[in-house]
Structure 1
Amino acid sequence: MSEPDSPDFASSIAANLPFLRRYSRALTGNQQSGDRYAAATLEAILEDAGDASAGLAAKVALFRAFHLVWSSAGAPVDTGDTGLAARAQGRMTTLTPNSREALLLFAIEGFSVEEIAQIMQIDAAEATASIDIARREMSQAVTGKVMIIEDEAIIAMDISAIVEDIGHTVTGIARTRAQAVALAASERPDLILADIQLADNSSGIDAVRDIQAQFDDVPVIFITAFPQRLLTGERPEPTFMITKPFTEEQVYSAVSQAMFFSSTETLAA
């Protein structure tokens, strides 16, 4: 591993910032709040890199620093008087502490149980138990109607099977922007899973934008082979994202997270 104060270590930290922002946003359910914690983490790790990063890989060190910042702040979620933020805050209080963080680190960010133990400063057995608890608590908390926007038939069928296996109903599968808008209008979904590039070269992002013009509080999970293209910080970004090629565990976790949290950011034009 590179030394904490070396150019290589700094480059590794910078390369992993988009993934930290994705993780932070998924925890808070809000882009602005998530980015504040990511920025505070970067500050902390650059100011005290030697202590925070000793013996750790750069990505593990970055996420461990975030966990320290997040925990010291009381693991807060943006609150609101009504609507999605209030519901998200209410649901968060029902989860076993640290379980949701452990599941996100494992299923979405791809850390091993041993790395999660380092990040959260717990032992491996506790990390495993936290992941199992989160799976159970979130899958039991919320079920609903899921719409899939995906032009590859086999992938769409795989996603549909996973979604139905965890208790949700699939309203349909759309292959183009126009089909997606029509499907949403015929039956409002509780969640959308959307690929970025569709069959007729239309955009899944544009399809989601059209749908959110009608239903602005529908959570969305984007599926993409290039997550960095959506995690630029230059515009409002999706809260939940699955990177291709994805695993069943990633879909399971992202769907459970999104349905539980019921929050997403509307994409700007």
Structure 2
Amino acid sequence: MSFINGILTGLLDALLYPLRELHPLVGLTLMSMLTSAVVLLAYKYASNQPAMARTKQKIHAHLFEIRLFADDPRTILYAQLGILRHSIAYLKLSLLPMAWLAAPLLLLTAQMQSYYGYRAPQPGQTFVVQAQITEAAASVLSGRRPSASLQSNDPGLQVQTPAVWIPTQRRLAWRIALHSPGEYRLALSYEGFTVEKSFDARSAIVSRSPHRPGTYLLEQLLYPTEPPLPADSPLQSIDVQLQDAQLTIPILGWSWHWTTAFLVLTLVFVLALRNSFGVRI
């Protein structure tokens, strides 16, 4: 999973790098356009387009039948049942391209969340860093407090507190303070084992990672920016508290989650480009 995540992260970094200083809507528009092209190609080559066209025509015929025989309840009921039957058939015909698209879109959504899902940390803010240790690592402690420390690679990001140990949750916690924008690395040492956690406080649209996962595949899927912790690590995961971002639409002043804007834009491009791709949806 980490190999696939590394490739996708590199591709998105290269694609979105020229747009990093622009409004987030610019990058989302580009990604929506590319996604709509992939969706249309999947429907064109993975679906039975002639059968979908015939089924759609039957649905339209029943709709016309309802309008034509508006005073005949029996005919209207028959037409409504026909619409339901053909709608189910149309949905079945759409399942194959949807199945082909499900995994790529899930991977893409997880990648884009790291770019558009979190606010850029601001100087003067404080954050909490938490490390979850594994059950195996906790069992060897025998009730004692673990030896752990957190260090920043630059004075612009300061570790303000020593480790706070929460034995009931197998967690260590620190408070950090941001003094200046930048790209930072946090070095976490636990019982002689040291790993790093990224902390990106640049104002540009960059990939941010609130969670460095362990060996669980689902966590690696949802948080693809950083490589997973080593399999022999006593740490299960490392988290940095980041605030969720809201996308403000220029002129209109609407605030949307980025996934809403991405979905709306993708649907608009799909409808606008479907004839150019020769696709019936």
TM-score by length of 1: 0.23
**Which protein, 1 or 2, shows the higher relative CO under an 8 Å CA cutoff with sep ≥ 6?**
2
- Is the radius of gyration larger for structure 1 or structure 2? 2
Q: 1 or 2, which has the higher helix percentage? A: 1
TM-score by length of 2: 0.23
